[in-house]
Every structure is written in C-alpha cells, then in structure tokens.
Structure 1
Amino acid sequence: MTGAIAPKQHEHVILHGVCWSTYEALVRDLESEPAKRLTYNQGILEIMVPLPPHEQYKKRIGRLVEAATEELGIELASLGQVTWKRQDLEKGLEPDRCYYIQNEPSVRDRSDIDPNRDLPPDLAIEIDHTSSSLDRLVIYAALGIPEVWRYDGEKLTIYHLFKGAYNPQEASVALPILSAEDVLRFLQARQRSGENAWLREFRQWMRAQLS
C-alpha cells in the first residue's frame, strides 16, 4: 500500500494504492466501529470519522423517512449504514441511511442481501456536512442506487438516477409525497422544538396532505 495521506479537518484520511482485499479486511475489522465510514473507489480509500452534526442530521432525516412510510401505510426495510460494495466495480461505501421501499418485499426477513445479485436499496441518505474527498455520487451511481438525498447542513437535494448519472429532482420518486423543499423545511423547523414534538408536527402535516 503506497501513496500520500491527506487529513482534512482531522476527520478525513485518504490512502492511495489500497488493494480490494485490504479494503474488505478493513470493512470487517471496523464493523464494531460504526463511527468510522469507509469509501473506496478503484484503489483510493477514504476513512472518515463524522462529527456530531453529521450524526444528528442523518438520524433526523431517517426519522422523517420512517414516519412518512408509516403515514402512507407502506412497508420499508431499513438497512442503516450497511456497506455496499462490488469487487467487479472496485467501489464501495456506507450510506448514512438506506432503505428498501418499493422493493421491500424482495428483501423482507432476509439477512443474506448481496449487492452482486440483489437489487440495491431504493433510497440512500447522504450527509455531506464535511465534504468527502471522493465523489460518492459516482459510487452510488455505479452501484445502481435509484435515489439519493444529499444534505449539507443548509441545502437538501434529491437526486434520481437516469442513464447512469444523477439528476436533481424537485420531489422524491421513492416517496412522491415529499419534495426537497418539504424535507428541508422540517429539518430547519427541528431547531424550534423538541424532537418528539417536531415529529408529531411532521405527521400532522403528512395527514393533512393525504386527507
């Protein structure tokens, strides 16, 4: 393994010349360290330790997604921050949150999901509060994840995969009742109330949209 190490704001380390077997070994070794996030793209490995705002944002967006599916009466399978990797592409990463929604029946009650043979999650959440040094959207696209919500602490963008590339969209495809503007408005409203009160307000809003 060769190359320079380039830390960024004390939470990023970049390693060059990392072989696939080394990446897989690190994924296994760090399974008990969920605070560390690995991104791999054709020999380049980024190790990131997210800061507290990153963890807060991903949990808040996750609660909105989960509450929305409950109010819509649809099922989902939440895989959290599971690693998605494919050796044939030499790419891998951990979304901050990922969900099967439309394709939930295909993975229900399964513990053997394999990115090489199974459909990818319908939706991934990407918190970009401290920008990754690698282009993670390129990796998501190669893995075939249809939709990514990306939040940088100020702006939320919904990307939909079309012909191998992501295009910004006003509204979600996985959860069509939600627009980027709606999700952002509730993320900003979280600062004005407690978390449970905030989630009740979101549920009330959802019911009003559905009535």
Structure 2
Amino acid sequence: MPASSSARQPGNFQESTQRIVLQGVSWQTYKALLAELGDHRASRLAYDGEFLEISMPSDRHETNTKLLERMIESVTEELEIPIKGFRSTTLKAYPKSPNGQHSNPD
C-alpha cells in the first residue's frame, strides 16, 4: 500500500513553530492544563498571569536543539567539565510581575 502524501519523510521538516495565544487564562486553568497534559508533552506552555501561549516547536527547531546538545556534550566531555541537562523546565510558582514577564522559560 503506498504511503499517504501527508506522511512524513526523512528530511521533510515542519518549517515553522505552531502557536496560539489565549488571553484571560486563570492560574487554576494553567495548572489544570499542566496536570492534564503531563510532563511528557510535545507542546510547550508559557504563562505570564494573563496570557497563555501554547506552541509546538517545528521539526527544524528540534533538530537544531539536538545538534547543539550533542556539540555541548562532546566539548564538555572532551574538556572533562561536568554538566547537567534539563531540557524543558516548567516553573510552577505564580508569576509575580503583572507586566507580562514570563515565569516559564519555555
């Protein structure tokens, strides 16, 4: 059976990050979404106390991230520098600043 035209082929990158921004999201709703989506989600959430941005990083972004990760691991291993990686980190303290400063590094 031939592959569907929408099937991903090696090297066929999703070029752009997909995102949506929602306004007026409560802290309780944000926490509920985090709990529902779990720690092993493909999407990233950024919340600043009023706006919630949900994004899906592009394939190219993920490929470049992995390449950079490998380069850093190689250099630090060669120079015998200890490192500790975290990838995405979710901060779960309520944002302190009402001026739009994100508390989540994603």
TM-score for the superposition, normalised by structure 2: 0.68
More strand by share: 1
Structure 1 match to 2:65: 58
Q: Which 5+ residue runs of structure 2 have no aligned equivalent? A: 1-15
Distance verdict in 2 for CA 1:25–1:84, change over 3 Å: same
Give 1:93's aligned residue: 104
Aligned residues: 87
Of 79, 100, 104, which residue of structure 2 is paired with 1:72? 79
Q: CA deviation at 1:86?
A: 2.8
Structure 1 residues 89 and 65 mapped into 2: Cα distance closer, same or farther (>3 Å)? Answer: farther
1:109-120 mapped onto 2 (5 Å cutoff):
none
Q: Which amino acid aligns with 2:51?
A: I
Which segments of 5 or more consecutive residues in structure 1 lack a partner in the other structure?
1-8, 96-211
Contact 2:18 2:56 in 1 (8 A): yes
- Output aligned runs, 1:14-53, within 5 Å: 14-31=21-38, 33-53=40-60
Distance in 1 separating the partners of 2:87 and 2:72 = 12
RMSD: 2.2
- For residues 3-40 of structure 1, what are the alpha-carbon distances to aligned partners after superposition, in whole Å with 9 as ceiling and x for unaligned? xxxxxx78211100111121122122222553101111
The residue matched to 2:103 in structure 1 has which SS?
Answer: strand
Deviations 1:84-127 (A, max 9, x none): 343142643254xxxxxxxxxxxxxxxxxxxxxxxxxxxxxxxx
Mapped contact 2:43–2:54 kept (Cα < 8 A):
yes
- Structure-2 separation of matches of 1:26 and 1:20: 10
- Identify which of structures 1 and 2 has the higher relative contact order when contacts are C-alpha pairs closer than 8 Å and 6+ apart: 2
Cα distance between partner residues in 2 of 1:41 and 1:49: 18
SS of the aligned residue for 1:48 comes to strand
Alignment of 1:55-204 (within 5 A): 55-89=62-96, 91-95=102-106
Q: Identity percentage over the alignment?
A: 33
- Rate the CA distance shift 1:66–1:12 in 2: closer, same or farther, 3 A: same
